[in-house]
Amino acid sequence: MTVDLGFGLLILALIVTSYAAVAAIVGVSRNDNRWVNSARLASLITFPLLTLAVVVLLYLITTGHYEVSYVYAVSSNAMPLYLKLTALWGGQAGSLVFWSWLMAAFSSAVMLRKWDRDREFLPWVIVVTMITLIFFLGMVIFFENPFVRFWGTPMGARIEAMFPPVGSELLVPNDGRGLNPLLRHPGMIIHPPMLYLGFVSFVIPFAFALAALITGRTDDRWIRITRRWTLVAWLFLTIGLVLGMRWAYDVLGWGGYWGWDPVEIAALMPWLTGTAFLHSVMIQEKRGMFKQWNMLLIILTYDLVIYGTFLTRSGVLSSVHAFAQSAIGPLFFAFIALTFVVSIWLMLLRWKSLRSEGQLQSLLSRETLFLINNLLFLGLFIECFWGVNFPLLSELVTGQKVTFGPEWYIRATGPLWGGLLLLMGIAPISAWQISTIKTLGRAFWKPFIPSLAAVGVVLALGIRQPGAIIGFWLVALVASVTIYEYWRGIRARSHSTGENVFQAIWRLTEKNRRRYGGYIIHLGIIFMALGVIGIEVFQQQTQGALTPGQQLELADYTVTYKSLAEWDTADGKNVARAVMEVSRDGKVLQELYPRRDYYYDSQQPMTIPGVRSTIEDDIYVILVDWEPISTRQATFKVFRNPLVSWLWFGSIILILGSIIAVWPTPERESAR
C-alpha cells in the first residue's frame, strides 16, 4: 500500500506539472490572467506532492522494505540511520527523485515572489521550469521508478515490476546489498545535495532569460531579478565541487584532490560558464553591454547542468562517480538537444535587440578585460568538453575508446588558469570605458612591487621551476591587488566617517556586499591556487612492500611500518588497519592509521588513507595490499603533498565570500 502511494504521488505530480505548463501557455494565448494564476497555483502544488513522495521513499528505505528494488540496492540492516537517509540520492532512481523534488522546491519558491512589475515573465517562467520538471518526472516514472518491487514467478524467476505479473508472488529479501562503500563518507552526505542544489538553481535564471527572449524584454531587468538566484546557484555548485574534492582526497586513494575524472569535469563545466556569466552580467548592469554574451552563457550553463546529469546517469562514461548503464541516455541527449536548439533559435530572433548599448573603447578598460575573462572561461570549457567527449567520438568512429589523462588536462588548461589569475590582478584596478597604460600603471605599481618581492622570496627558497615561479608571482600579484583595493576603500571610509579600521571594514563590506564579497572570493581562490601549485608541481611519492620495522624514505620524512591488525566490526565490515610512524630528523611526529574497509553487504572495499596535515605539507599513506597474518608484509604508497592544506583553507574563505555576496541587504530591499 505504501509503495503504491509513493508511485501514485509521482503520477499526480506529473499530471499537475503538465497542467501548469499547458495552463500557462493557454493564459498567454488568450491573454487571460486566470489561466496564468491557475498555472502558478498548480506549480506550487508540485512541491508538497513530491515532498510526500520523498517521505514515502525514505520510510521504505529506513524501515528495510527490501521487496522494493531500489531499497534493496542502496540499504541494508547494518547501515546506520544517517546513511539510510543519504541512500535517497545514493542510487540512480532515488537521485532523480531528489533532483525533481529540488526542482519543485525552487520553482515553487520563485512563484512566491511579487510579480506585479514583471507579470509578462510569469507564464514563461512557469513553462520553462515545469517542462524541466516534466522531463525528470517522466524519467522517474517510466524508466527509473524507485518503487519497483521484486516478484517471484512459479518457475522460480525473479522479476522487477511495479505491479504483480500474473501468477507471481511478492519476494521479500531478508537484507539488502547496502550503499556503495565509496558513498559512506561524511562528505557524501552533503556533496550530492550541494551539486544538485547548484544544478537546479541555475534553471531559474535560465527560465527568466528565455522569458525575456520570448517577450522581447531584453533590458537588464531579468538579470536584476535573478542576480541572487545566480549567486546562490554558484555558491551551492562551488560547495559541491569542494566537497567532492575532499571526498576524493579522503576516500579514492588518488593521493590528490582531483583526478580529471569525467564526472568531476561534468560538474566543473557548468561552474566555468556560470562563473563567466556572473562576471559578465555586471557589465550589462553597469554599461548595457554583453547582452548577447549573457544569453549565450546562461543557455550553455543550463544545458551543461542537464548534460552533467546525463553523463552521470547514462552510463556512457567509465567513472568512480557514474551510475550503471541505463536506457535514459538517449532521452537525456534528445532533451538537451531540443532545449539548446530552441534557446539558440530564440536568441537569434532577438539578436539585434541584444546588441550592446555601448562599445569597447580601450584595450585595457575593465569592459575589455571582462570580455577576455569570458573568452578564457569559454576556452577552459571547450577543452574540458573536448576531453570528456573525445572517448565517445573515438569509439563511434574507430571502435576504440581513447581517453585523455590528467597530464593532458594540466597542459591544456594550465595557461588559461594562469591567464585568469593575471586578469584577477589587473581588472580590479583598471578604469571603466577608457584606460591607458599610463593610468593603469599609476594604479598598478604599488601592488606590483610586493609581488616582485614574493618572487625574490621564492627564488631564495631554492625554487627554480618556471611554472612554480610564475604561479607564485600571480598569486602574490592578485593578493597584493585585492588587499590594496580593500585598503583604499577602508582608508577612504575612515577619513570620511571617522570610523576605526574594524568599523570601516564592517561597514564597507555591509554597504557593498557584492563587490567586497567578490574580493574575499578572490582571496579564497589565491589560497586555493597555493595548494594547487604545491601539489601539482612539488608532489612526491614512493611505494614499497614492508615488514614490521621497515621504513620508507620520502624527502626528509621517514615512514616506519609498526604493525597491522584485522578484525570484523558490528556494522558488518572487515577492517585491516596498519600503524605507521612518521618521523623527521629522528623526531617522531605522529602515528598514522591507513586502512582498508571491506563491506560484507555490498562486497566492496574502501580505502581510507592515513594523513598528517600541516600548513607546510601533508604526509598521505595508503595501505595498498597485505600478506597473511604469518608474514604481516604489507605494501604502502606514500605521498608528500606540499601546501595542500591551503586548498581547503582557501575553499572556506571562498565560500565565506560567496555567502557575503549573496546575503540580502535589508535597506536596499525595502527601498526597492
Please state, in angstroms and as integers, the Cα–Cα distance from residue 536 to each residue in 135, 418, 493, following that order.
41, 14, 41
To which residue does cell 551543461 refer? 304
Residue 253, C-alpha cell as written in the block: 586513494
Q: Is the per-residue pLDDT at 322 higher than 50?
A: no
Contact in structure between 42 and 22 (CB atoms under 8 Å):
no
Q: What is the mean pLDDT of the chain?
A: 88
Residue 260, C-alpha cell as written in the block: 580529471
Q: Is the per-residue pLDDT at 672 higher than 60?
A: no
CB neighbours (10 Å) of residue 401? 14
CA distance 244 to 254: 13
Interval 158-195: pLDDT, tens:
888 888 888 888 999 998 888 888 777 776 778 888 99
Q: Is the per-residue pLDDT at 671 higher than 50?
A: no
Please state, in angstroms and as integers, the Cα–Cα distance from residue 227 to each residue in 233, 279, 296, 353, following that order.
10, 11, 16, 21
Please state, in angstroms and as integers, the Cα–Cα distance from residue 73 to each residue in 38, 56, 300, 448, following that order.
40, 17, 34, 58
- Residue 629 confidence (pLDDT): 64
pTM for this entry: 0.90
- Residue 552 confidence (pLDDT): 94
Q: Give residues with Cβ within 8 angstroms of 192, minimum separation 6.
A: 89, 95, 98, 240
- Residue 665 confidence (pLDDT): 67
CB neighbour class for 515 (10 Å; exposed up to 12, middle 13-18, buried from 19): middle
Q: Give residues with Cβ within 8 angstroms of 606, minimum separation 6.
A: 181, 182, 184, 251, 596, 597, 598, 599
Q: Which residues of 302-339 are buried (b: 16+ CB within 10 A; e: fewer)?
A: bbbbbbbbbbbbbbbbebebbbeebebeebbeebbeeb
Interval 474-511: pLDDT, tens:
999 999 999 888 888 888 888 888 888 888 888 888 88
User: pLDDT higher for 60 or 632?
Assistant: 60
Identify the bridge partners of residue 620 per DSSP, sorted by sequence position. 611, 639
Contact in structure between 303 and 347 (CB atoms under 8 Å):
no
Q: What is the edge-to-edge ordering of all strands in the sheet holding 610-613? A: 540-546, 634-642, 617-626, 610-613
- Residue 668 confidence (pLDDT): 47
Grouping H, G, I as helix, E, B as strand and the rest as coil, residue 155 is coil
Q: Is the per-residue pLDDT at 227 higher than 70?
A: yes
Q: Give residues with Cβ within 8 angstroms of 427, minimum separation 6.
A: 366, 369, 370, 373
Calculate helix-pair angle for 291-314, 262-287, nearest 10 degrees. 160
CA distance 500 to 494: 6
CA distance 329 to 92: 12
CB neighbours (10 Å) of residue 442? 11
Identify the bridge partners of residue 595 per DSSP, sorted by sequence position. 577, 608
Residue 135, C-alpha cell as written in the block: 522531463
CA distance 174 to 169: 16
CA distance 414 to 2: 53
- Residue 630 confidence (pLDDT): 63
